[in-house]
Structure 1
Amino acid sequence: MSSSDEFTRLREVIVGRADHYTDHDADASFQLFFFDNVTPLTGAGRSLLPIPPQYVEELNEDIAGLSDALTACGVTVRRPAAPGKDVDIRSPLWDARATPPLNVRDNTIILGDTIVETAPHVRARIFENDYLKPLFYSYREAGSKWLAMPRPALARGTLDTAFYTRQGADVSHVTDADEALGIDGLGMEMIFDGAQCMRLGRDVLINVANRNHELALHWLREAFPQLRFHVLDSIADSHIDSVVVPLRPGLMLVRDPQYRDFLPKAMQSWDVIVPPPMDESAFPDYSDFGFNIASRYIDINVLSVDENTVVVNSLYPELIRLLEARAFTVVAVRHRHRRLFGGGFHCFTLDTVRDGGREAYLD
């Protein structure tokens, strides 16, 4: 196993599963993570939001289409183990309905030949990586390293809300309604998702928006002194793979040119592709039973097969045409319910083998 960037030739990838994705467990940790998009729910306490089976079936069809498309590109596709039923989990501090291993990018970073399990923001996701362990053990037996950040307790009061309060948002109605128990003296924990990173050989862009993320950054720097971690200071609340996506050295997909100012100076001169805007009418309407947990920018969440080939949602023809005009080969794959399940093709995948190594793209 070896994967150090987002764009060199992809050889092997893990594609997530949505089996038994029957509910969103909308507790305080979920509401804070998706705060911008769950305003109607905030302050309501914990609730299970059922997802209609039709949408889960359609999601599974689209994931199968993604797997088939990657296989047709010559990529070896591996899958997590499938949950056999809906699972309720419990810690000494909280209860949750477990989320299946769909957005596998979030709870793991691959840094070269090392698997790094991260420390989830959302309580329902704390055991997701158990379904990836058969794969992780096979990589370890083949010579890869395997590390894990300290598992967070996700106790009441340990999630830093500084990103929102700096913007003048009042999140007290969420934190006050949190049903979890606290732990005296614990304070802020190390909490971090792999999708807060973009890998560029020996350099890693890393979004740090609060104290939870700062603790994770310190841990990563201690564990990987050979890498250069470049802090993107609150470029987003957490994930950045629908904000800035390196397509190859010198060229990136960026939600808006204003985000250049957050990037390392060596990247600010890169050529930029700004995706065409999408309005709400381009997406399914879930208002009869729920809401969108992802923003309308989710289709920027593309996956590169190599420096000239990109997997893009077929329902975003404007981006397909733009990339093709820049001489990219676009692999168009349908993904209908990206805003309901909160992930695009980059989220759904964990690339474990790419041709690139620790090149110095930012020197």
Structure 2
Amino acid sequence: MSPSPVSAHNEWDPLEEVVVGSAVGARIPRAERSILTLDYHDGFTAETLPSGPYPADVVEKTEEELQALCDALTGLGVTVRRPAAADPQAVLRTGLWETDGYLDHAPRDVALVVGDLLIDAPMVVRGRALKQALYKDLFTEYFNRGARWISAPRPKLPDETYRPELPEGRRLADLEPLFDAANVIRLGTDLLYQVSDGGNELGARWLQEAVGSRYTVHPCRNLYTSLHIDTTIVPLRPGLVLLHPERVNEENLPPILSSWDKIWCPELNDIGHAGSFPVNSPWIGMNILSVRPDLVVADHRQPELIKLLEAKGIDVLPLSLSHARTFGGGFHCATLDVRRTGTLETYR
């Protein structure tokens, strides 16, 4: 049998194949408990949530920039794949709730690659379940070509899962394993798992069982309480990590990173957002994609960050995602690295 088409052990080995998301059909779901608890919890109600399609010009601009990312990666010899087209009229119903589609631009949330294992994540926002369906044909292709592919137990997501009355970081109950794949960072045999409103303790336990004793899942508590880890900790190569200066400190830094050389992210330029409410803060500028240990994709409007990276011998491919704050995702969010060269190692 030919080698698996899926193989990635960390965040920085040379990139060979990647999935790039799409903004086509992007919408804010109808008001329901998960979206109001997790993504739109600051002052929004069922009556005021701006449900419906994103403005056409926002979608068009984002698609142009995602295509520019695809073209740049292809020019570097990387194989680029895209999801199936979203159906803006799709509705998902279970015996407990009903919702419609959400954003499909961030495959990073959907699945986690650990070595040659492709893991469908038990995602925390109900509307994102429709997103996973857009990748099934592609993942089936990978499976038929020799990839190992599993899914976490499909969550029920009852109303009791969501606790909007509690402080951020405690709003996701431990009723069943839940996490978005973007809650996990790969450091070879060590996986950092951010416990937050994007992933609960049961999710960390399930992931440890799924990957087996060859790997160690490190639950990271009291880091970033909102959702995903990749605007807080960004490993660049063995021994070098980019860190969020307001979220990470000596008390909560994962011990495995204590001896690493640290780049403390400078204050980032606010690239703005469409509409009245941005899903992300300006720190989305930290959300960079490593193409190889000496090259990353970053927003060209973050010159201070680029200078710090270049000072460490890392070249920057400067591109744009003008609506990263609107859609809640930068270059790391908008991609899923399916295959990187390299072997499984321990970096402690």
TM-score normalized by structure 2?
0.90
Residue segments in structure 1 that go unaligned for 5+ positions in a row: 176-185
**Counterpart for residue 15 of structure 1:** 20
**Counterpart for residue 235 of structure 1:** 223
Structure 1 residues 35-88: Cα deviation after superposition (integer angstroms, max 9, x where no partner):
5xx413157576615421111110101111111111112111011111244323
Structure 1 residues 299-354: Cα deviation after superposition (integer angstroms, max 9, x where no partner):
10000001110000122222222212222110011110001101011111110111
Q: Structure 1 residues 32, 224: CA separation in 2 closer, same or farther (over 3 Å shift)?
A: same
Give the Cα separation in 1 of the matches to 2:206 and 2:220. Answer: 17
Tell me if the contact between 1:4 and 1:112 (Cα under 8 Å) persists in the aligned partners.
yes
300-309 or 310-319, larger mean C-alpha shift: 310-319
Tell me if the contact between 1:26 and 1:49 (Cα under 8 Å) persists in the aligned partners.
no
Give the Cα separation in 2 of the matches to 1:210 and 1:22. Answer: 21
Q: Structure 1 residues 292, 203: CA separation in 2 closer, same or farther (over 3 Å shift)?
A: same
The Cα of 1:91 is off from its aligned counterpart by: 2.1
TM-score normalized by structure 1?
0.86
Tell me if the contact between 2:124 and 2:198 (Cα under 8 Å) persists in the aligned partners.
no
Identity of aligned residues (%): 35
Give the Cα separation in 2 of the matches to 1:78 and 1:260. Answer: 37
SS of 2:119's partner is strand
**Counterpart for residue 216 of structure 1:** 203
247-256 or 187-196, larger mean C-alpha shift: 187-196
**Counterpart for residue 145 of structure 1:** 148
1:203 aligns with 2:190: yes
2:179 equivalent among 181, 189, 192: 192
Give the Cα separation in 1 of the matches to 2:166 and 2:15. Answer: 34
Q: How many residues align?
A: 340
Summarize the alignment of residues 1-363 of structure 1 with structure 2, pairs less than 5 Å apart.
1-34=6-39, 38-42=41-45, 44=47, 48-159=51-162, 164=167, 188-209=175-196, 213-225=200-212, 226-237=214-225, 238-256=227-245, 259-261=248-250, 262-278=252-268, 282-286=270-274, 289-362=275-348
Tell me if the contact between 1:23 and 1:48 (Cα under 8 Å) persists in the aligned partners.
yes
SS of 1:164's partner is coil
Structure 1 residues 180-219: Cα deviation after superposition (integer angstroms, max 9, x where no partner):
xxxxxx9722210111110011110111237961111111
CA RMSD of aligned residues (A): 2.5
253-262 or 294-303, larger mean C-alpha shift: 253-262
Which residue identity does 1:142 align to in structure 2? R
47-56 or 329-338, larger mean C-alpha shift: 47-56
Q: Structure 1 residues 71, 219: CA separation in 2 closer, same or farther (over 3 Å shift)?
A: same
